[in-house]
Amino acid sequence: MYRYDEFDAAFVRERTAQFSDQVRRRVSGELSEDQFRPLRLMNGLYLQLHAYMLRIAVPYGTLSSRQLRMLAHIARTYDRGYGHFTTRQNIQFNWPKLKDVPDILADLASVEMHAIQTSGNCIRNITTDQFAGAAADEIIDPRPVAEILRQWSSLHPEFSYLPRKFKIAMSGSPNDRAAIRFHDIGLQAVANPSGEIGWEVWVGGGLGRTPIVGKMINGFVPNEHLLAYLESILRVYNRYGRRDNKFKARIKILVHEEGLETIKGQVEAEFAEMRGGVLTLPQEELDRIAAYFTPPPFEELPATRIDVKREKILDTAYGEWLENNITSHRMPGYASVTISLKPVGKPPGDASAEQMEAVADLAERYSFDELRVTHEQNLVLPHVRIADLRTIYNALVAEELADGNAGLITDMICCPGLDFCALANARSIPIAQSISERFASMTRQKEIGDLKIKISGCINACGHHHVGHIGILGVEKKGGELYQITLGGDATENAAVGKIMGPGFEAEAVPDAIERLVDAYIGLRQNPAEPFIAAVRRLGEAPFKEALYGASERAA
């Protein structure tokens, strides 16, 4: 893992002191709320429906046990005993008091963490594959470059007041687990014909009220020129991105309105000026940063096959957990464990202080002290010995963290919704809860297989409903809450935006509607090996529309 040196530590110290001064000036009235708002946002502090919300950066989703214990401490000391992991691999606390924020920031700094640029119209946390450095299918570990991008984008003087927020995601594997095509910039590791590894650059993707799949702007940018290329894109966006309408200010709109070729021309012209300049990244420096991410001292273990069938017979729940929550590792005898934060009937992504501490202990003992936060709001122990799985599972059971539903229908992404968020039009957590209760049977979930449901409480789409195989969007209609259903979204390398099926449903009708879609799929699939999303692509929307709005059903 990356460790702060004196420079990083001093940077966070100065930034914390600067923010404390800003808070002081706000309190004394030197700063108006309008003047203060962008400053506090750039330090992760939101004003939510009920209270301030503090969002803390987890750079590229990587945590140590010490850091997770500190997050547990903060949850217990300053909040209501839990934290909420987000779709951008960060964690947020929903109930801190403004007066405690400087103390929280100081506690964070003591474990090399901060809340810088987790909000505001600036470059946000760089996200990546939760299995980076562990995945068997990885071309390269994207974290060293992600760390360099984190540094480059921290308090960038030219790009701190962009037209709108700016999100960058990277994938080191061809199987995109970071949704890079739905980011302002997506970086996909690729090898060129001579074997050199560089980056495919995607631009202008995004969800929100205008979901757009990103477009490839450059097929290969080598590491040494990556910063110059990104700075070129950011400069074009900063200068020409729309500022007249908040809802049209993301780079996706600029690319959409001007056309990829125009933007590409502008970016390439900037790049021609910057290429080879001060932003050139020397290999030695990349190597220096990469040294922080050298693989842990893995043991030489024999390749081990997990006999899921046998385990299921012996212990159904354990067998299902193995089947769904274990991902193959590039080292023989090792695996990555997904810890589901989607227990049936609980808000997705929440973890209590006790749970965080238990997971921290497991990471320290069994995973070389490493942890990951996934963009699907789960936690991951990236490097565990297969021989330790049973012990880990037993410990998770004790903390109610052993749900074996990763990737299944109840492993939903869900925004905080009207219960917590000032922007939301509708509740989303109760919808997720009612769906997970409906499909609580593990037999039923296994029968359905890989199905991603994503729920947003408003068109800002924090719950990524556009890329859910089934998406659910809460809207306000005639004073009530209605839920629109979309079908066919996909956040991976087969990126697609889901299509709206028709009129919305009332909250209590949503589980039935989902069940009708699921039943239709099971009836129509070629065989149990054909996943939901593949069946939707093959069959089109018609049979599913019919299932949803058949004559008997009352659609609002």
Partner 1 sequence: MAQVNALPRQHRPDPLRALGVVALNGMFDEMDALGVLRHAVEEILPGDVAIVSSFGADSAVLLHMVSKVKKDLPVYFLETGKHFPETLDYVETLKTRLGLTNVIAIQPDPADLKRFDPNGDLWETDPDSCCHIRKTEPLEPITEEYGGWVTGRKRYQTVERGVLPHFELTSDDRIKVNPLAHFSDADVVAYRQEHNLPEHPLYQSGYKSIGCAPCTSVVAEGEDPRAGRWRGLNKKECGIHFDFNGAIAKPMVAVEKHRLFKDGAFIADPFHDWGEGDDAATAHYTHVPLPVFLEHRETFLANPHPLGLLVSPGERIEDVKDDLQRFASVAIKFPAFTDGRGYSTARLLSERYRFAGEIRAVGDVLADQIPLMRRCGVTALVVTHEPTRQALAEGKLAEVAIFYQPVGLTEVPVGTRPYLRRAG
Q: Closest separation between CB of residue 101 and partner 1, Å? A: 16
d(CA 118, CA 108): 14
Give the dihedral sign, CA 320/321/325/328.
negative
Instruction: Copy the structure tokens of residue 124.
Output: 């946000």
Element (H, E) at 265: helix 260-274
From the number of C-beta atoms within 10 Å of its C-beta (0-12, 13-18, 19+), residue 397 rates as middle
**Helices assigned H by DSSP within 292-339:** 308-314, 316-325
What is the nearest approach in angstroms of partner 1 to the Cβ of residue 270? Answer: 10
The smaller minimum CB distance to partner 1, of residues 155 and 539, is found at 155
- CB nearer to partner 1: give 147 or 376: 147
Beta carbon nearer to partner 1, 251 or 402: 251
26 versus 465: smaller Cβ distance to partner 1: 26
Least Å distance, CB 199 to partner 1, is 17
Distance CA 382, CA 66 (A): 16
Tokens of 173: 């594997």
Q: Least distance (Å) from partner 1 to the CB of residue 58?
A: 18
Q: How far is the CB of 368 from partner 1 (least distance, A)?
A: 24
Residues 6+ apart with CB under 8 A from 218: 200, 201, 229, 264
- Asked if 304 and 343 count as a contact pair (C-beta separation under 8 A), the reply is no
Please tell me what DSSP assigns to residue 206: B
User: One-letter amino acid identity for 101?
Assistant: V
Q: Which is nearer to partner 1, 134 or 254 (CB)?
A: 254
Pairs from 402-405 (Cβ < 8 Å, separation ≥ 24): 402/317, 402/321, 402/340, 403/321, 403/340, 403/342, 403/343, 403/344, 404/317, 404/318, 404/320, 404/321, 404/322, 404/323, 404/324, 404/325, 404/340, 404/442, 405/324, 405/325, 405/340, 405/342, 405/442, 405/445
104 with 54: CB under 8 angstroms?
A: yes
Q: Which residues are near partner 1 by CB under 8 A?
A: 5-7, 10-11, 14-15, 17-18, 21-22, 25, 30-31, 35, 38-39, 121, 147-148, 151-163, 227, 235, 238-239, 243, 273, 278-279, 281-282, 284-286, 288-289
- Distance from C-alpha of 66 to C-alpha of 198, rounded to nearest angstrom: 33
Least distance (Å) from partner 1 to the CB of residue 13?
9
Collapsing DSSP to helix, strand or coil, 227 comes out as: helix
Between residues 174 and 282, which has the closer beta carbon with respect to partner 1? 282
Q: How far is the CB of 474 from partner 1 (least distance, A)?
A: 30
User: Which residue's CB is nearer to partner 1, number 156 or number 312?
Assistant: 156
* 223 or 338: CB nearest partner 1: 223
* Shortest distance in whole angstroms from residue 549 CB to partner 1: 45
User: What's the count of helices (H) and strands (E) in the chain, helices before strands?
Assistant: 18, 21
In this structure, the number of other CB atoms found within 10 A of the CB of residue 51 comes to 16
Least gap, CB of 54 to partner 1 (angstroms):
20
Which amino acid, 401?
Answer: L
Identify whether the C-beta of residue 187 lies closer than 8 Å to the C-beta of residue 202: yes
Q: Which residue, 160 or 492, is less far from partner 1 as judged by CB?
A: 160
CB-wise, 245 or 443, nearer to partner 1?
A: 245
Smaller CB distance to partner 1: residue 160 or 460? 160
In the complex with partner 1, which residue's Cβ is closer, 159 or 532?
159
User: Least Å distance between CB 451 and partner 1?
Assistant: 41
Q: Shortest approach of partner 1 to residue 167 CB, angstroms?
A: 17
Q: Which of 409, 405, 472 is nearest to 438 (CA)?
A: 409
| Residues 6 or more apart whose Cβ sits within 8 Å of residue 65 | 360, 361, 363, 364, 369, 371
Q: Write down the least CB distance from residue 155 to partner 1, Å.
A: 6
Neighbouring residues of 334: CB distance < 8 A, sequence distance ≥ 6: 134, 298, 301, 383, 384, 385, 386
Nearest C-alpha neighbor of 467 from the set 456, 478, 479, 482: 456
